[in-house]
Structure 1
Amino acid sequence: MQMIIVDDEAHWVDNLSMHKPWDTLGIEQVHRAYSAHEALQIIETQPIDIVISDIIMPEMTGIELIERIRVYDKKIKCIFLSGHSDFEFTKKAVQHQAVDYLLKPPTDDELFGAVKAAIEQLNQEWEQISSMDRTQQTLRENLPLLRGQLLLDALRGQRLSADEWNRRLENYSLPFHEGDGAMMLIRLEEEFGQFKNNGQQLLEYAILNMAEEIFGEYMEVWGVKEEHGYLVLLMQYKGVAPAKGKDTILEKLALKLQYKVKQFLKGSLSIVMTEWFAFPEKLADKYRQASAYFRQIVGDERDFVMRVDDLEQRVSNGPLDALYMPPSLMNLLEAGRWEAAEEKLISVCAELDDRWSDSWEHCMEAGFSITSSFTYLAHRNGNTLEKILGDDMDMLQSGEAFTSISKLRKWSLGVLEKLKEDTSNDIKDIRSSYVTKLQDYVEKNLHNDVSLRALADHVNLHPTHLSKIYKIETGEGISDYVFRLRMERASHKLMTTDKKVYEISMEIGYLDPAYFIKVFKRQFGVTPQEYRDRSDSHNRVL
């Protein structure tokens, strides 16, 4: 569970949040807010369960805070602190279902007792919500969506254990099992373009239904639309598959589907089929192979049914480390940190020279990523890249900017200078300078105290004012930025260094390695060691 402590007196917030063993109650994270407005910003972005708030605060009282919270979250539990025993405040606190009303300074027994009561109420409510009957009803109502999402996640490479696969398949009433499977990727051709703005979803649903009808005599069928617009069909034979002719039957049924769609829906399909493979372990690999096969078919070829041949396996030499090391180029440009952005570009080109001098693909990868960041910044500032670049746009449109590392270096640094000139007025804005100073400080002191109070002291602003400025300039809260940077640093260090988990924990500001492991797992779904092992395994495969 997560809790937030709200008080305009910083010593109360810091003392209660940092010097109490909240973890013994099951509180995983304690947020700090020095005003009701700052608390609302945190509650908007964090899954807060419990609020401990002062009653008397400037700008907005604790009662007004809970009234605002109740507009969009009825389940958050509130505990009020006050230096005065006021009947009217107590009455209003009761009206808003406050768990308790404690006088300052509360004893540890009083405070922990109130939080325990809040936790018990939350557990009872969520146990009722998650009851078996209600869960089963919700599952039935959302079954098509859940089935589709499970297949999409598997296509994208999400790994599940055999037991988890069996559990999901059984819960979702999917008659699939470990064993041979085949896949089809279906592309709707241009005749269906007229339905893009009206009826496209119904059309795709009709095609999936026709596929289930045609293939269903022999096979179980599981279909979904994936992110690139293809319809994906996964199939397994019902019962015992024929010893011979499996591929012939599959191709015959694919041709029948193509014919029936043209006959009744008046449009063409192009279909790519995989060979039979081991489901579920090879599912993601075969999906990538089939997608690549579609991309390799050039020209105007359409209305085909093709089987994926064994494509030449190309082993990647690895990713561009400097390009993806946090902070990203886009983040640096957003913050107006031009010197750091220039250093980023120089380091990317230096790595290309050092490690990938004979790889045009790596140069192209860097070029596309850099261009994407440049374009985003131009559009964010209400401009276009073409207008800013002038003649330099020709090199981008022709692809000449990416043909060599030296050209990429010269072109990208030149564009950076033009972007800097174009946004010079924004850089002079005092809010941007505060954000830049804050981010520089956080990046260099992530292992130290980077709480809102410490950052506010560093830039000589009130915490509430700094929080507002940062939110306006970047679109995210300061705590979100610090947390994101910590997770990015952690994942990068896990993939690129041999440092122990506890060493990485200390370097990114988590003094308790156990807490760091818990936070990391909540963010990525695996422990830091599992994340490292998975990365090592992936690199070995590549």
Structure 2
Amino acid sequence: MNVLIIDDQTQVVNGLFLGIDWAKIGVKQVLKAYNAFEARELLSSQPIDIMLCDIEMPAESGLQLYRWTREQDIDTECIFLTAHADFTFAKTAMQLGGFDYILQPARYETIENAIVNAIHKITLKQETNKYYAYGKMFQKNKEILLDNLIKDWIFRKNRDAERFMADLSQIQVALEPEAEMYLVMLDVFHLKKDMANWRSGLLKFSIGNIMNELFARYGQNVLTAQIQDESFAFLIYSPNRLLIDHEGVERQLNKFIDVYRAYYGCDIACYTGDKISISEAPEQAAMLMEMKQNNVSLASKVFLLKDRSEQQHTLSYQMPNMKMWSKLLEQGDTEVVRDQAFALLNQLAIDEKIDAEFLKRFYQQYMQMLYTTAELKEISLQRIFQDEHSLEKGLSSYANVDDMKELIAYTTKFFNSFPGSEEEIKNQVDVIIQYIRDHIDQDIRRTDIAREVYLNPNYVSRLFKVETGMSLKEFIIMEKMKLAQALLKSTKLPISIIAMKVGYTNFSHFSQVYKKTWNVTPAEDRQ
């Protein structure tokens, strides 16, 4: 513990410093300040446990000083000393949260007792904070352990039921081996952009809170485990064996979907079955996971295992005529292909006639059609999927209908804009060059050019370099400098105006680029 004595009277400070047996009451360091300014410097530079502070000081009072410590969130206990029995002082001191208020002159023993009481309060607060920190750490570790325990159990990584129950009890979760419960798998779809950082914890927190609140109304407990970023598993059980009925579970899950959509704008799919024991959870989890995988249309509703047999029908809907789509792409009717594909997938989703198997086969045939069409138009496959993002989409768009539609939109737009033959490629480069010359008075950016020719910015740069032997940036600068040089030698325009005519608003930067290009400054070149 340390104490800061603050008083404008040197005699009072020295008297307290020498008159109190600091070691006896557990104070290791005693600091001195003779005004509020000095006190602030000490309070800002190191932790001060207790302030022993005079109220009436010139320039700034002890009350003002202590108010400042509150505003700065400096955690210190303050014992006020004053020679005037002014009730207003005492009232203000207590309102600010002062620990004690002592009238001077006071016996050193009285001041010692006040300091001892303050030390006791600080020690108690430190212990409370320590246990609070332990509690937070335990709760955080408990959440991580619970995630892993439930995942390992339902996905059969841990096959020892007794060990699973023992591990749960270690984190204060009491489940009986034969107790019945409901297993629910849950997916969140269409997470809003401003919720992207929720995956690390807030998503689980919000979902877990709402689920617990909804099922607590029926006297049920809910254990929550995060399976993946936007996928969760729940164990719903009763602490007194009065388990909610299946209809009640379905009803509360539907409420949950409505509540979460209303509050957060996200869609939710829940998958659940009949009540089970702990030992039956892995088997049911496998069936629920299959239902999850078949929800490729990302339908927002409650899926029940009892309905699974009715949903497991053979899809009689024939695949679309991919040869016709290939011909349409070849002819440039790309929007027709996109619209037909979207209409088909949307209708199948509405009719619930689409599952994971159908979407994989659709993806396979669609990709084959793309490759065939690319060969006919003499387009290499690298040009279709030219960057990491488009390549990833091209390789994994069969997981759900949204991803498949994104792939279709991307590829049909590509065929609508991208040339195939060498002559067409040359024409595309000519368009880029013409765009640069038409906008020579502007700050030309690669993204502007890419937007003009409907290509990826990175690919525009690579294509231009391959076809011209010069980087896009180098070519733009050279075109600007050629025009600037011509204007310098053929007109009497001020150099600053010429700089603006080739897209430079900063004259100094223009001069530097000009000299780097022609080895002379614009003024020297004009002479």
| TM-score (ref. length: structure 2) | 0.31
